[in-house]
């Protein structure tokens, strides 16, 4: 680093209107997050060097226009000489970089502070007007809960936006020329890892929630404890309401251990009758006792499970998301009547227990967003008898408990993706008599057509063919959305078209089945 006399005191940079001019910042990564960070810093007057293993062409071209420098080094397995010479005072890291990445280890040795994009966004949130932040994390249900909360807030007349890990960089939102009343911020464990690194803390959200906790992203965090610790950061410095899952002890412990602002309340949510500080379910009615003035004796009725069914939100995990979102917005002052009316107009996101087709008594369901065992568990629990499409990149997570728990409801399993051996062993151990098939095709365009052809030979009236892979998608697909769209297209191409012609689904010799208890050869 440069002469200490020229180094900026980062503790003074707490506002858009602080003096950022001349601050030398290296940005790691040039995806949506990295570009938003570089663009923001240039606008603030900083000197910006972007370092990327691969720079998307559209972003790389724009860097020269806005006045940032780009260093592209394939692999990025060593510190680029230009970065070593840049004399960076701060590094902004994109969420995908592991904490033990070569460049980050070098930064630690050099004493260069590292922030995530969320830290930067919080500090400059007052460019137009400083919105309140409601922060949401959890192993599963984050996106739906963020969308629900935002929908309810907008219905109440607030200018609100769903941002963060949901796909819209927070830095883009804080630079909106009109500004927002409240930002509902979805935070991944990667983003949470980098927040509140200083002794005085950084984020001070209005309300926060960790929806649930199950092993995930162990390959990134290293251990389950490290993953849980990152998730728990969502509650730090919360000012008004820490919302937690009554059915998940880990989330309660997080709240108990969090350093919150005096007066902050703990608000529980669950699928049973609520206590005085909880939201819950009584005889199919969603009840809020937490925010009633006489909460020991009275409660508000928010909606019913029947009304939620019309919005596609009747499954237990969806009801939990509704309860969590309702708790967050009730803390913000949204009236019960507004919650009820707005829930009736909400529609769940694509690829989350989304019905593709119901034909001949068989339901075809796309839950491609079930990218880990915890999400797949929720999806499987919603159906009685399932032909399960499973597999992809398991990210170091054990699937044995998932397979054992749901074996009684499985009619068959169809394995796709790269990480097959663990699934084979789990089915052999816990479901030796279950018909298990493997789709051997590795070409992206062939995988889902073969899945559908196999499924059509197995499924019977009353069954659900469920794409809930319990794994990430990038081994064979661009992302979970691509995986889900290809599944839906194959269902509509083969099953719906077949119904139009009155024919029967074709079997195909490009997939392999096996007798109970034996494993088919992998691709």
Tell me if 212 is assigned to a ligand binding site: no
- The token pair at 408 is 């009684």
Tell me if 481 is assigned to a ligand binding site: no
- The token pair at 466 is 């469920």
Taking 3-state DSSP, the helix, strand and coil percentages for the chain, each rounded to the nearest 5, stand at 35, 20, 45
Rounded-to-integer distance, Cα 147 and Cα 141, Å? 10
Tell me if 142 is assigned to a ligand binding site: yes
Query: What are the C-alpha distances in Å from 280 to residues 299, 324, 336, 340?
Result: 10, 10, 14, 15
Q: 């938003």: which residue's tokens?
A: 36
Tell me if 144 is assigned to a ligand binding site: yes
Q: What is the dihedral of CA 443, 446, 452, 453, to 10 degrees?
A: -120
Q: 């007007």: which residue's tokens?
A: 129
Tell me if 510 is assigned to a ligand binding site: no
Tell me if 444 is assigned to a ligand binding site: no
Query: What are the C-alpha distances in Å from 394 to residues 13, 14, 217, 400, 444?
Result: 40, 40, 9, 12, 18
Q: Which residues contact 240 (CB under 8 A, 6 or more apart)?
A: 206, 207, 263, 264, 265, 331
Judge contact between 1 and 111, C-beta under 8 A: yes
Q: 């900083």: which residue's tokens?
A: 46
Tell me if 140 is assigned to a ligand binding site: yes
From the annotation, which residues make up the binding site?
A: 138-144
- Summarize the annotated binding site for ATP as residue ranges: 138-144
């Amino acid at each position: 680093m440069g002469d200490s006399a020229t180094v900026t005191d980062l503790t003074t940079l707490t506002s858009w209107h602080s003096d950022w001019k001349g601050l030398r910042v290296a940005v790691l990564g040039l995806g949506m997050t990295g570009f938003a960070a570089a663009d923001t810093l240039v606008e603030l007057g900083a000197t910006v060097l972007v370092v990327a293993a691969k720079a998307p062409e559209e972003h790389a071209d724009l860097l020269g226009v806005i006045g940032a420098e780009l260093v592209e080094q394939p692999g990025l397995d060593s510190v680029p000489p230009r970065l070593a010479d840049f004399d960076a005072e701060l590094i902004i890291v994109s969420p995908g970089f592991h904490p033990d990445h070569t460049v980050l280890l070098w930064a630690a040795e050099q004493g260069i502070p590292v922030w995530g994009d969320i830290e930067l966004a919080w500090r400059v949130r007052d460019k137009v007007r400083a919105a309140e932040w409601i922060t949401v994390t959890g192993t599963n249900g984050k996106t739906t809960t963020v969308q629900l909360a935002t929908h309810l807030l907008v219905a109440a007349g607030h200018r609100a936006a769903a941002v963060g890990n949901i796909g819209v960089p927070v830095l883009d939102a804080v630079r909106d020329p009109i500004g927002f009343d409240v930002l509902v911020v979805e935070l991944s464990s990667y983003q949470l890892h980098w927040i509140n690194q200083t002794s005085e803390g950084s984020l001070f959200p209005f309300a926060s929630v960790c929806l649930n906790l199950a092993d995930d992203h162990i390959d990134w965090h290293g251990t389950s404890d490290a993953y849980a610790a990152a998730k728990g950061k969502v509650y730090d410095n919360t000012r008004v309401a820490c919302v937690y899952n009554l059915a998940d002890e880990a989330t309660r412990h997080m709240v108990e251990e969090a350093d919150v602002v005096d007066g902050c309340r703990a608000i529980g949510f669950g699928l049973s009758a609520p206590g005085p500080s909880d939201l819950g379910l009584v005889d199919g009615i969603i009840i809020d006792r937490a925010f009633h003035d006489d909460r020991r004796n009275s409660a508000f009725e928010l909606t019913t499970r029947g009304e939620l069914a019309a919005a596609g939100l009747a499954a237990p995990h969806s009801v939990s998301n509704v309860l969590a979102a309702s708790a967050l917005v009730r803390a913000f002052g949204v009236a019960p009547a507004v919650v009820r009316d707005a829930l009736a107009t909400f529609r769940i996101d694509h690829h989350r227990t989304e019905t593709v087709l119901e034909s001949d008594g068989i339901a075809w369901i796309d839950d491609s967003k079930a990218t880990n065992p915890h999400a797949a568990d929720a999806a499987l629990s919603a159906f009685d008898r399932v032909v399960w499409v499973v597999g992809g990149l398991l990210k170091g997570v054990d699937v044995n408990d998932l397979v054992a728990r749901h074996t009684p409801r499985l009619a068959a399993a169809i394995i796709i993706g790269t990480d097959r051996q663990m699934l084979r062993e789990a089915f052999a151990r816990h479901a030796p008599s279950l018909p298990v098939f493997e789709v051997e095709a590795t070409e992206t365009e062939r995988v889902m057509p073969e899945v559908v052809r196999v499924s059509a030979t197995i499924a019977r009236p009353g069954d659900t063919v469920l794409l809930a892979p319990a794994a990430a998608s990038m081994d064979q697909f661009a992302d979970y959305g691509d995986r889900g769209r290809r599944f839906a297209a194959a269902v509509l191409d083969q099953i719906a078209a077949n119904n139009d012609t009155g024919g029967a689904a074709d079997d195909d010799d490009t997939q392999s089945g096996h007798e109970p208890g034996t494993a088919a050869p992998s691709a």
